[in-house]
Amino acid sequence: MSKYIASIDQGTTSTRCMIFDHDGKVVSVAQMEHEQIFPKAGWVEHNPAEVWENTRKVSAEAMAKGDISRGDVAAVGITNQRETAVVWDKNTGEAVYNAIVWQDTRTDKIVEELGGSEGADKYKDKVGLPLATYFSGPKVKWILDNVEGAREKADKGDLLFGNMDTWVLWNMTGGSDGGVHVTDVTNASRTMLMDLDTLQWDESIAKDMGIPMSMLPEIRSSSEVYGKGREKGSFPGVPIAGILGDQQAATFGQVCYEPGTAKNTYGTGNFMLLNTGEEKVMSKNGLLTTVCYKIGDNKPIYALEGSVAVTGSLVQWLRDNLNLISSAPEVEDLAKGVEDNGDVYIVPAFSGLFAPHWRSDARGAIVGLTRFANKGHIARAALEAVAFQSREVMDAMNADSGVDLTELKVDGGMVVNETLMQFQADILGVPVIRPVINETTALGAAYAAGLAVGFWKDEDELRKQWAEDKRWEPQMDEADRKRLYAKWNKAVQRTLDWAKD
């Protein structure tokens, strides 16, 4: 009997392969970063060939490190940065352009034109999303409109589109030699092209965006066998049996299976998802309606999502663009060296502002500077920006659902930062809880794959594997919480005012 499930986590900054045992413990892991390409202000790209190469390498490395043989792996799950769009030639397997990353704002004009007189909410009833640069559909349109020869090839049926899940799956299952062209409902729900009720592509929206239907992958559930690993790869003949966009995967890994349960992931950006069960709740407060997961033939489960574009990547920016720190964890030491933020606020609107504002024209600001401000205050303001943005999202969630969240499960790279976690609890006014297995994204995809092949029996079995590691209780008094949050809102307003000029 196979002992493990492998999970490929193709994220914004790196690709990982993690191998889990039956208790959900990590037995082996390998990780590689890929290049972030910034050709112009507001543009962000990845090289799809590099991403696929790294996927192959980390898979082989994780298997070798753990001394795991192919027969030991019962199934593979895939989870991925969502929305990032790849268009490739199905005959050669080569991408016609770099992947356009979810953070990229080059489609702002396209998005405006698509909305026309109906504005940003033109497709919202169908797809649950406002028209914004974030989503894949307009990125595909940009590639077809701007890459020489792409539209002709697409019309001939030679080009395929996929998010990173589809790109990785197609290559893992043989590429131009029989690769499976499939996505799951969670990834499809981020393209602006999928009808949330039918869970099928909406032909009229695809037509508005000039995207031929032949380019689109088949939409399947999040947990079923899509295909088998190619003979030459690390998982020959192993079923690839789970796909979830990374935020939905983290929600699944955090066992948020009941309506009303929520998690917040602290990665490049922050993403809070609230399970709303079989009910599709339409937001009135700037949140997205999205598919949370669909296990095999079961009914789809929906979620409300608050997406914040820049949180962890703000710390990277302090490291790489300002050289304020030499490694990301140093931000906490710097922040702890000062008593408070010294009245400094950073609003990192590098990709405009996502939830709940949806303003692609907003631009970042540091406000409140005086001669007193030092590196520590900047570091502290950066951490606080992460927490304040999550507060905005939680307020929207409470308003939309009509029920206040009483606690928040957290995961992702930044939850080791105690200063941030305490401030998060303080500014939300509810306890923040970290699980023992913090690798919830990779774990969620492993769970989906494992369920499909009977490695785990059902959600009840998975629920029992979740355990609390640490809890931060709010310690700030209400007056301080109000005062700081009001200041933050003032700072946000500056980034919106800036955009108007």
Contact region with ligand G3P (CB under 6 A), list: 66-74, 124-132, 242-250, 332-340: 242-250
Contact region with ligand G3P (CB under 6 A), list: 21-29, 162-170, 241-249, 432-440: 241-249
Q: Which of residues 268-287 bind ligand G3P (CB under 6 A)?
A: 268-269
Q: Which pair of tokens denotes residue 216?
A: 């689109």
Which of 202, 246, 332, 426 contacts ligand G3P by CB under 6 A?
246
Contact region with ligand G3P (CB under 6 A), list: 25-33, 262-270, 276-284, 329-337: 262-270
CA–CA gap between residue 263 and residue 265 (Å, rounded): 7
Report the residue number, 222 or 307, with the smaller CB distance to ligand G3P: 307
Instruction: Kindly give the interhelix angle for 108-115 and 136-146, rounded to the nearest 10 degrees.
Output: 110
- Evaluate whether 289 touches 283 at the Cβ level (below 8 Å): yes
11 is a contact residue toward ligand G3P (CB under 6 A): yes
Which of 16, 34, 46, 82 contacts ligand G3P by CB under 6 A?
82
Sheet hosting strand 14-20, strand order edge to edge: 26-33, 14-20, 4-10, 73-80, 239-245, 223-228
Report the residue number, 267 or 450, with the smaller CB distance to ligand G3P: 267
Least Å from the CB of residue 84 to ligand G3P: 8
Least Å from the CB of residue 312 to ligand G3P: 7
- Evaluate whether 123 touches 192 at the Cβ level (below 8 Å): yes
From residue 210, alpha-carbon distances to 20, 100, 140, 205 in Å are 42, 17, 9, 9
Which of 81, 186, 283, 341 contacts ligand G3P by CB under 6 A?
81
**For residue 10, which phi and psi values (nearest 5 degrees)?**
-90, 95
| Stretch 301-320: interaction string toward ligand G3P, x if CB under 6 A | ------x-------------
Contact region with ligand G3P (CB under 6 A), list: 45-53, 76-84, 387-395, 455-463: 76-84
Which of 7, 12, 341, 389 contacts ligand G3P by CB under 6 A?
12
Residue 468: CB atoms within 10 Å: 10
Q: How many residues does the chain have?
A: 501
102 is a contact residue toward ligand G3P (CB under 6 A): yes
Report the residue number, 13 or 285, with the smaller CB distance to ligand G3P: 13
- Evaluate whether 141 touches 211 at the Cβ level (below 8 Å): yes
Q: Which residues, at least 6 apart from 236, have a Cβ–Cβ distance to it below 8 Å?
A: 70, 228, 229, 230
Q: Which of residues 39-58 bind ligand G3P (CB under 6 A)?
A: none
Q: Which pair of tokens denotes residue 22?
A: 């039956």
The DSSP bridge partners found for residue 262 are 274
Which residues would be at the binding site for ligand G3P (CB under 6 A)?
11-12, 81-83, 102, 245-247, 267-269, 307
